[in-house]
Amino acid sequence: MKRNQTRDVAVGLFVLAGFAAIAYLSLQLGGLKIPADETISVFADFDEIGGLRPRAPVVISGVQVGQVDRIDLSDDYRARVFLALDAALELPVDTSASIVTSGVLGDRYVSMQLGGDDRYLEDGDEIEFVESAVILERLIGKLIHDANLDSEE
């Protein structure tokens, strides 16, 4: 009887470890947010976001410094992207934001390039220098269209 109890305890511990691993992976893939008191919120208006989603990373020099909090439509019908950034950062007001793709067909994220101004972005400020996403399908379509025009001449 003791052998069965030992086996049952081992199986129970194995199942418990499996549940713990699933919980850990769910939290990692779900993208835990940095607590709100440790972030500043800034926004940027883009003409095209190309599939950017909330919780997408915000990076500087390849290091994640925040994430996309939410995406709304501005009054002038542009995509307004709100970014939750680490409050310890001192980002100059002339910092620029670009929507880029990881790899050829990877996920979109926001890449920031630091400016050189002496003043820094504060909570609620707007990033004015932006570069919208490049849509690969539009680029290929334009290339094909231009090639057809050249061949007709």
Q: Are residues 26 and 51 in the same domain?
A: no
In a domain, 147, yes or no: no
* pLDDT-based confidence at residue 27 (cuts at 50, 70, 90): confident
pLDDT of residue 85: 95
Query: Which single residue is written with the structure tokens 């008191």?
Result: 37
In a domain, 149, yes or no: no
* pLDDT-based confidence at residue 75 (cuts at 50, 70, 90): very high
Q: Are residues 4 and 57 in the same domain?
A: no
Q: What percent of the chain has pLDDT over 90?
A: 55
Q: Are residues 75 and 130 in the same domain?
A: yes
Q: How many domains in the chain?
A: 2
pLDDT of residue 1: 53
DSSP string of the chain, one letter each residue: -HHHHHHHHHHHHHHHHHHHHHHHHHHHHHTPPPPGGGEEEEEEEES--TT--TT-EEEETTEEEEEEEEEEE-TTS-EEEEEEEETT---BTT-EEEEEESTTT--EEEEEE----SSB--TT-B--EEEPPP-HHHHHHHHHHHHHHHHH-
Q: Are residues 41 and 73 in the same domain?
A: yes
Mean pLDDT over 45-62 rounds to 93
Q: Are residues 24 and 82 in the same domain?
A: no
Average pLDDT, the chain: 86
Mean pLDDT over 73-87 rounds to 94
pLDDT of residue 71: 95
The whole domain housing 2 covers 1-30
Size of the chain in residues: 153
In a domain, 46, yes or no: yes
Q: Are residues 22 and 69 in the same domain?
A: no
Instruction: Report the candidate in 102, 99, 108 with the shortest Cα–Cα distance to residue 132.
Output: 99
In a domain, 69, yes or no: yes
Q: Are residues 96 and 123 in the same domain?
A: yes
Query: Which single residue is written with the structure tokens 């990033």?
Result: 127
* The dihedral sign for the CA sequence 65, 101, 107, 134: positive
In a domain, 79, yes or no: yes
Number of other residues whose CB lies within 10 A of the CB of residue 93: 16
Q: Are residues 49 and 83 in the same domain?
A: yes
